[in-house]
Structure 1
């Protein structure tokens, strides 16, 4: 017959296992919208921006995060990347604004200018924004957004 200490240990391990399984329940993906770009001081030939994202949590549990990372590709080529050690909480069925500084190197800007040379007014440049909100071993939330950046139309001449 098992001792009382063994039964308590077994019950504790069972409770821990059930808690771990509950934390692995699937979550709906976060909804991310780019809501703004603010210029930041750069060094040398780099260009820096603060990317403002609205993050919506469509889940029934809050999301705690302690860092963010972004990568932006335009026209199939890397353009900008950035990280932030910002931390916070997005409540269940809530939203938050997150700011992540990103850098565009001179080389990336030249590559983009070369690649966009064939695009005409009214055409869109495809983009992909990938990122993550760090939340520990099982709490990291990854996200992706994609679409077309509208190439500006020239003003109509009278």
Structure 2
């Protein structure tokens, strides 16, 4: 009798787990970069990250940590603990303040200019923490027009 009880409990637990929707991880990409402060050694930026929710339920983002590379070189690191709800099948832009050393900005820009490229590659990667769903890694690459970033480099 006791064994039958546990078999039924296991069966119903497995049945409920099979009915639960499969959560797809949110898609995070770089939507923009704004310079907000310029110093002798470092620059302060606001990075705009687009967070897209491919699910049929709202996603409550509790925290986000990430790194950004330009042309496969470190550019900036950021953290956000600002809670935000990403609507189901929707997206939002999260603005995060970051600091970057001047050399981390200049080197990839100068390399791209020297090679005559009109676009520069980027990579944004890290982890997003979703309330009630756990933590998910993300890694997105793309490119942006070099002209959009040249304004950050001193002439």
TM-score of the alignment, normalized to the shorter chain, above 0.5: yes
TM-score, with structure 1 as normaliser: 0.68
Picking from 105, 126, 132, the partner of 2:121 is 126
Answer yes or no: is 1:25 the counterpart of 2:22.
yes
Matching residue within 55, 75, 83 for 1:79: 75
Cα deviations by residue, 1:65-124 (Å, 9 ceiling, x for unpaired): 11112211111111111111111221221222211112211342353355335222x532
CA distance in 1 between partners of 2:139 and 2:94 (Å): 15
Question: 3-state SS of the aligned residue for 1:92?
Answer: coil
Distance in 1 between residues matched to 2:98 and 2:92, nearest whole Å:
19
Go from structure 1 to structure 2 and tell me whether the alpha carbon gap of 1:92 and 1:136 turns closer, same or farther (over 3 Å shift): closer
1:143 alignment partner in structure 2: 138
Higher strand proportion: 2
Q: CA RMSD in A?
A: 3.6
Structure 2 unmatched runs, 5+:
148-155
State the aligned residue count.
148
Which secondary structure state, in structure 1, belongs to the residue aligned with residue 82 of structure 2? Answer: coil
State which structure, 1 or 2, has the greater radius of gyration over its C-alpha atoms: 1
Q: Gaps (5+ residues) in structure 1? A: 153-158
What's the secondary structure of 2:144's corresponding residue?
Answer: strand
